[in-house]
Structure 1
């Protein structure tokens, strides 16, 4: 059994089989929805808001995919934040998980398969665009759920946070150019990190890892950091969002906002609405994955 929802695909948004055509009048209104795993132990909700930006460059994908290699459906979740245009983010949304599930390591090593899918997707995007193409890029935060094991990979400054027993636990660390290890990597490759309103690679890009960004590719890689988390009965939800949320909401504040909201769609909407009300100037996009593993607790 498979459910597929995807948003902002080349000007179209899809929820199940329903087609939507966003217009220029869609400025700050939410587009939201959700679904659940067949066993109802996991559900997800999404909310995407154009906000104060003139255009929408955020994309998401969420899917429960049946696989002959795993007893449970495999949950595939991602939030993709474009910069310099929507092309890279849309391409990654469409391509990344396809490369992941077709990777030879998918059946035995999810971490390796995910890393290789990130790198391959980046190469495919750069190759597909040609020499005269736009030099846009995107960040990505992704999560793969098999049973109660969660594999999170990130490139850039979108972020995933686990809410466990009311406490926030980061599952990713933002790739900022002034992060000690990132700065050393960039400078070791011959690049520079300079202050231009914020820390930027070459005075241009405010993230140190991303898909695309052809002109900075020597320094701005798409190799993700990966975290594996085994979820227990205290795991309440995972919040995955673009920096439009995290610029104005802390990890713990986000968990506090949704801890009593059992409906994942409502939780995602609450987060994006709150970020907008706090003055976020960016596109604001969020996926909330809600867990219901309590029935497995040993009494």
Structure 2
């Protein structure tokens, strides 16, 4: 088994890849970090974070390391970055509360080797009506997916079944409570050179391919003709209440949770598959706090303007805040570095 890479803490340097912390003086008081981000052992860690090693890993998967972002005492933000050992993949994330009174966005990033396949998983979970559903997805969705017996052999099927099973698990876990919150999920799963993007709700994943912004998910809105037909066929109604809503309540047509509307608001994901080639430059996953005010083309352009994906993620979230987003804002930027593998750096015991 590989030895754990040494961690490097780099604070306050916005231009370097693995910044531990940066001051955002103009908006710092409005931001709030409540997240955790987890990786598995075969990654090359360059962010300075507290770590916990899960030694209960399965035989074909390495142990899991949880990396906790720093948090400002007076309410701050969370951001960080990661780079694969071979240098072909890097990512950065940025998340903050924005103008909302509470934080309901969560995110997750994992990387591992399963059955000799390199696997990377990226996810954005935007809660509504409370944070519990989004937090549950962060804690369980990718763990459940990586344990699915068909994850490698039939990834698309495994994703679909895992999404729906995790939804049922969440509803079961909440059956004795009075809560009825829900969450979106937009995930990008990379198995070898195959990318699978799955979506439930109105978070979104967009890729840049040969310089062009291409959405790999379509928002699940109640007024989407196919979604409206599905809802009405199940006995539900779509009506205008400030925006189009299921039953006049929920402004999205698919979600995890939302027990009272579960007959109509399903957690079955729409999945798109792409093969990664040299035209793939980057992908952006984000909650609607970004997409409400930043079009797909702008998001790709802004992400391309920063070489460091963590700086790109921060630039996207700060731009959304500056443009007036009234929601929590969370995004992940993943960059592909074709034919740019770095020599393996020295390992440390």
Question: TM-score, length-normalised on structure 1?
Answer: 0.91
1:1-299 to 2 correspondences below 5 Å: 11=34, 13=36, 15=49, 17=51, 19=68, 22=71, 25-26=74-75, 29-70=76-117, 73-295=118-340
Answer whether contact 1:11 1:21 (CA < 8 A) is retained. no
Structure 1 stretches of 4+ moved >4 Å: 18-24
CA shift for structure 1 position 69 = 4.1
SS of 1:61's partner is: strand
**What is the CA–CA distance in structure 2 between the aligned matches of 1:110 and 1:16, rounded to whole Å?**
32
What value does the CA root-mean-square deviation take over the aligned residues?
2.0
What do the CA deviations read for 1:131-186 (whole angstroms, capped 9, x no partner)?
Answer: 43300000000011122211000000000000112210010000000000000000
**What is the CA–CA distance in structure 1 between the aligned matches of 2:120 and 2:50, rounded to whole Å?**
16
**Paired residue total:** 286
**What is the CA–CA distance in structure 1 between the aligned matches of 2:73 and 2:255, rounded to whole Å?**
27
C-alpha distance 91-51 of structure 1, shift in aligned 2 (>3 A): same
**What is the CA–CA distance in structure 2 between the aligned matches of 1:24 and 1:126, rounded to whole Å?**
33
Answer whether contact 1:12 1:21 (CA < 8 A) is retained. no
Give unpaired runs (5+ residues) of structure 2.
Answer: 6-32, 38-48, 52-66, 342-349
C-alpha distance 113-170 of structure 1, shift in aligned 2 (>3 A): same
SS of 2:114's partner is: coil
Counterpart in the other structure of 2:61: none
**What is the CA–CA distance in structure 2 between the aligned matches of 1:295 and 1:269, rounded to whole Å?**
24
**What is the CA–CA distance in structure 2 between the aligned matches of 1:180 and 1:16, rounded to whole Å?**
47
Answer whether contact 1:12 1:22 (CA < 8 A) is retained. no
Structure of higher CA gyration radius: 2
